[in-house]
Structure 1
């Protein structure tokens, strides 16, 4: 096994994993509690959305604690698997659980109005623009893997946590900016989102090839090639899901509706 990190300062990953475990437990408890409370005032929350939430949370946790997380410290392929889970698959599953819709249903009128004003603000419009979201998502990955950030994040637990938080949030933001499943205030055309998605997928592939040609930090060439190939082909599978979903939504919107026969 190739060791990919040479620590210049000790990092207490045990404490980090405990924090993730506590946050995971909280997320698994709060979602059904919110669904239960909101179902008293509104239509019953669909059971299948619990499945997406639990799946998304467990996949997020698996990238930040447990066997895969421990292996990712010494194996770049495992690290890249965690990247795909944290930044691509988990966000896609969580979007289907519609957490923002559930939050709006659960909050009281005053709090819901404040949240609505935030979502309708210029900042809300800017951050959910597909172009902004793709730059934060793909651009952030370029910074991680093509600068010293990859090595530096393994010298500071705070930087390590911040970068992984960014990977998750940027992935989630990109997903909700491309496919409109959850509550969305600022909507953009299918053509615009399609163009941004194609560009983002292209730059993701370019980054994979750059990593293949020149792995970051102290990663060996063979290990870097394996990780880059996983990023390239593993990303394709999740990207295909985004493409299918966007095309399906576009078809549903554009397809002629059957005329109702007169009685």
Structure 2
């Protein structure tokens, strides 16, 4: 569970705060940057960059992992574990970038929509942790309910901390936008 928290929640938040897409676009030739932007704005990628899509890929993927036999398969097959680990990091990064609104993603959604999706994601993550705590997850593993409960608690409380940090980033961006809008308004009114 600690691996899940680090790779799926805390690492994506730290990666997103490094503005990887902006950094890439500023450091490649202009022609390549334009091609990349065109590719990122293609309809399939625009659909994935919607907050609800990012939510389904991120939190929905966790339900698939922990409430099916997939988790058992990751323990038995290193290749499946690698694919799932890649998905966890990628989905977490997409979710964080889309909701934080700190990268030039193809679809800009309102602050209100991003907060609602973040609340839904937090509720979904907490609900999954409670289901796991009750012993209804990690199918096919040898762990007993008392053995799995500490992992579920770590998921619940660690997830809350990561989501709180993401809320801080989302609200910080909103406050920054409001301040910039206020300053633009003052510049227009006062010559």
Give the count of matched residue pairs. 184
Distance in 1 (CA, whole Å) between partners of 2:32 and 2:171 is: 35
The equivalences for 1:1-263 within 5 A come to 80-214=1-135, 215-216=137-138, 217-255=141-179, 257-258=182-183, 259=186
* Higher alpha-carbon Rg: 1
Structure-2-length-normalised TM-score: 0.90
Give structure 1 stretches of 5+ with no counterpart.
1-79
The secondary structure found in structure 1 opposite 2:182 is coil
- Give the secondary structure class of the aligned counterpart of 2:75: coil
SS in 1 for 2:66: helix
Length-normalised TM-score, structure 1: 0.66
Q: Which has the higher helix share?
A: 2
Deviation, structure 1 residue 252: 2.9
Is there any run of 5+ residues in structure 2 with no aligned partner, and where? none
Contact 2:49 2:106 in 1 (8 A): no
How well do the aligned residues superpose, as a CA RMSD in angstroms?
A: 1.7
Secondary structure of the residue aligned to 1:126 is: helix
Name which structure has the greater RCO, CA cutoff 8 Å, separation 6+: 2
Structure 1 residue 244, shift from structure 2 partner = 1.6
**SS state at 2:177 partner:** helix
Measure, in 2, the Cα distance between the counterparts of 1:94 and 1:150: 25
Task: Give 4+ residue runs of structure 1 displaced > 6 Å after superposition.
Answer: none
1:98–1:183 contact (8 Å) kept in structure 2: no
